[in-house]
Structures are given as C-alpha cells and as structure tokens.
Amino acid sequence: MEILGRISSWAGKYFALIIVVFSIIAFMMPDTFIGFGSYVTILLGVVMFGMGLTLKAADFKLVLTKPIPVLIGLGAQFIIMPTAAFLIAYLLKLPAEIAAGLVLLGSVPGGTASNVMVYLAKGNVPLSITMTSVSTLLAPVMTPLLLLIFAGEWMPIDPVSMFMSIFQVIIIPILLGLLVNKYLPRVTEKGVTLLPLISIVAITIIVMAVVAGNRDNIATAGVLVFVSVMLHNAFGLLLGYYAAKLFKLPVQDQRAVSIETGMQNSGLGVALASVHFTPLVALPSAFASAWQLITGTVLASRWGKKNARSDEGQDIEGQQIDSREDKLSSASRG
C-alpha cells in the first residue's frame, strides 16, 4: 500500500506530463486505444465516486456561514466561462462542432484539481472545495441550460436527456461515495491514498480514447482547438480573479475564485460529448485536461511564493487542511 501511495503521489505531481505523453501515444497508435471510448462514462463515474468519498458536510458549511464569496464564485463559474467560450467561438469563427465543444467545456462545473491548485497558491481552500462541490451538484441543471442558451445555434441540444446523463454519471456516483464514506469509514480511510492514482488512470484513458478517435481531426484542426482552449482558460483565470477583486473579496478568496473559474471538469465535458454529440465535440475538453493543469500549476506556484494575507491582514478562517490534504491530491480527477 505504501508503494502504491508513492506511485499515486508521483503521478499526481506529473499528471499534466502523463496526459501529454499518453495522448501522443494514442495519436500514434489510435487503433489500440479507440475502443476505450465506450468506457468513458463508466470511468468518469468512478472518478465521481472517488469525489463522493472525500466529501463531508463541512464542505457545504460556507454556503450557510459565508454565502457571498460562494455566490460570487459560482456566478463567475457559470457566467464567465460559457460566455467567454461563446465569444471566442464566434470571433475565431470556429467550426460548429468545435464551437459547441468549447461552449460545453465552459458549461461544466469546476474540476477538483482546482482544490489542490488553490492549496498550493495559498488561497482559500474551504471556499474552493465548496465551489467545486456546489457547482458539481448544480451541473445537472446548469450545464444543459447553458448549452441550450449558448450552443443551440451550432448543435441540437436535448436538455432533458443531458440532465439524465449528468445525474447518472455525476450525482449517483457522488451519493454512493458519500454513503460509503458515512457507513464504511474504515474502507474509505484505506482506499483514499489510491484515489489519486485511480483518478489519474481514468482521466488519462478518457483523453486517450478521444485523441485516438479524433486523430484525423487533430491533424487538421488541432492548432485551432488548442488556441481556443488556451484563450478560454486564460480568460477564466483572469476574469475570475477580477470578479472577486471587484467585489472586494480577500486576496485568498480572489485566488480561489480565479482558479475555480479557470479550471473545468473536462472529464465531464468529454463524457457528455461522447454520449450526446460527436467525437470532435469532445476535443476542447480533452485538450483542456492537460492545459489547465499546466496553467494552474504555474499560477499556483507563483502565488504560493507570495505572502498570502487577506486585505485586512488576517489569516482566513477555516484554513486548516488536516487529513484532507491527502484527499485533495485527487486533483487528477478533473
């Protein structure tokens, strides 16, 4: 178990590099990995089950005790990201499927990788965890609604069918994880060290399946997709930061909102594209899986070297990380 824990820690540290390397392998040998496409939703369900195992009632405490930062963060998440995706797609005149895929990426909730990045950036970790948890639970309603508003002109959207898909692949596994965590705590304690490794393997396979299934599309439109994803991520990080700054939130909150806004649950984007659209629609989310980890790490490293004091010069409340630091290593989930 100790060896697996070390492997898990190493994989979490180099997750972005792992995705890039195996994506290249999948591009070079697509026939070997294209069959994994049929397991995308199952793999994402496993990742979300792992998220449920790490959730606690305390993760939602801030919604009641300090709702303003949470609401500002959620507003940034569900307003800035889909709007930015729509504008980028429109201005760059992206092909319909890539445009819809970028809007899909902007409409999914925040990814749990953001929790680790906020911790490294000396941001407000409880706020980050709350934003991830709440946005994920809102996803069955918000993601189909946002897609209907912003992507309807490029692709036909069935919000009811998408609601059911998100509920099945996100909400049910999370609820099962919560139940296991509550009634079988010893099982959770033993398995939590392996969660990062399981999540990394699952997300890597998902990305490999998308790359393998889109080899020709990547060869012709890869640069365009990468540029659009890069711009989308940059706008999310930048505008998320200034949205929090506009409302005069403390520095730690600004960092949390910025990272939470810019880092999406790309695995969910890939899964929804695979079920409801075409393989090409999944490309922006697949590219984002690696890119947002790279930018998140760079930004967190830069902020982490600065003095992370709030505007009032006080440490933020609830910044104790205790054993959840290990659980947050499941950054790889998304």
How many helices (H) and strands (E) are present in the chain, helices listed first? 19, 0
Q: Which residue would you say has higher pLDDT here, 107 or 58?
A: 107
> Per the domain annotation, does 89 fall within a domain?
yes
Nearest to 237 by CA among 293, 283, 281: 293
pLDDT exceeds cutoff 60 at 299? yes
- DSSP type of residue 320: -
pLDDT exceeds cutoff 80 at 248? yes
> Per the domain annotation, does 187 fall within a domain?
yes
Q: What is the pLDDT of residue 88?
A: 96
The count of domains in the chain is 1
DSSP secondary structure string, 266-311? HHHHHHHHHHHS-GGGGHHHHHHHHHHHHHHHHHHHHHHTS----T
Q: What is the pLDDT of residue 232?
A: 97
Average pLDDT (7-15) is: 76
Give percent of the chain above pLDDT 70: 91
DSSP secondary structure string, 213-266? HTHHHHHHHHHHHHHHHHHHHHHHHHHHHHHHHHTT--HHHHHHHHHHHH-B-H
> Per the domain annotation, does 322 fall within a domain?
no
> Per the domain annotation, does 83 fall within a domain?
yes
Q: What is the pLDDT of residue 249?
A: 93
Give percent of the chain above pLDDT 90: 34
Q: Each residue of 66-104: pLDDT tens digit?
A: 899 999 999 999 999 999 999 999 999 999 999 999 999
> 46 in helix, strand or coil?
helix
Structural domain range at position 155: 2-307
3-state helix, strand, coil in the chain (%, to 5): 85, 0, 15
User: Using an 8 Å Cβ cutoff, are 154 and 100 in contact?
Assistant: yes
Q: What is the pLDDT of residue 31?
A: 87
Arithmetic mean of pLDDT over the chain:
84
Sorted by sequence, the CB contacts under 8 Å of residue 307 that are 6+ apart come out as: none
Q: What is the pLDDT of residue 1?
A: 60
> Per the domain annotation, does 328 fall within a domain?
no
User: Using an 8 Å Cβ cutoff, are 106 and 88 in contact?
Assistant: no
User: Using an 8 Å Cβ cutoff, are 26 and 212 in contact?
Assistant: yes
Nearest to 118 by CA among 322, 333, 321: 321
Is the dihedral angle over the CA atoms 247, 252, 255, 258 positive or is it negative?
negative
Q: Which residue would you say has higher pLDDT here, 313 or 129?
A: 129
> Per the domain annotation, does 319 fall within a domain?
no
Average pLDDT (283-308) is: 85
pLDDT exceeds cutoff 70 at 185? yes
Q: What is the pLDDT of residue 316?
A: 43
Report how far residue 158's alpha carbon sits from residue 66's, in angstroms, rounded to the nearest whole number. 35
Lowest average pLDDT, out of 119-123, 239-243, 255-259, 328-332, goes to 328-332
Q: Each residue of 20-70: pLDDT tens digit?
A: 888 899 989 988 888 888 888 888 888 888 888 877 777 777 888 889 999
> Per the domain annotation, does 38 fall within a domain?
yes
**Domain containing residue 219: CATH number:** 1.20.1530.20
User: Using an 8 Å Cβ cutoff, are 199 and 45 in contact?
Assistant: no
Is the dihedral angle over the CA atoms 192, 170, 74, 306 positive or is it negative?
positive
Report how far residue 130's alpha carbon sits from residue 126's, in angstroms, rounded to the nearest whole number. 6
Structure-token pair, residue 263 = 């880092």
User: Using an 8 Å Cβ cutoff, are 127 and 62 in contact?
Assistant: yes
Q: What is the pLDDT of residue 231?
A: 96
Q: Other CB atoms closer than 10 Å to residue 83's CB: what's the count?
A: 17
For the chain, how long is the longest CA-to-CA vector? 57
> Per the domain annotation, does 324 fall within a domain?
no
Report how far residue 170's alpha carbon sits from residue 275's, in angstroms, rounded to the nearest whole number. 14
Average pLDDT (277-304) is: 88
Lowest average pLDDT, out of 75-89, 125-139, 167-181, 298-312, goes to 298-312
Average pLDDT (134-152) is: 93
pLDDT exceeds cutoff 60 at 321? no
Q: What is the pLDDT of residue 284?
A: 93
Sorted by sequence, the CB contacts under 8 Å of residue 269 that are 6+ apart come out as: 101, 104, 105, 108, 282, 284, 285, 288
Q: How confident is the model at residue 189 (pLDDT cuts 50, 70, 90)?
A: confident
User: Using an 8 Å Cβ cutoff, are 47 and 202 in contact?
Assistant: yes
**Residue position matching structure tokens 């899986």:** 289
Cα separations in angstroms, 248 against 17, 202, 243, 259, 298: 36, 39, 9, 17, 24
Partnered with residue 264 across adjacent β-strands are 110
pLDDT exceeds cutoff 90 at 211? no
pLDDT exceeds cutoff 70 at 179? yes
Q: Which residue would you say has higher pLDDT here, 113 or 12?
A: 113
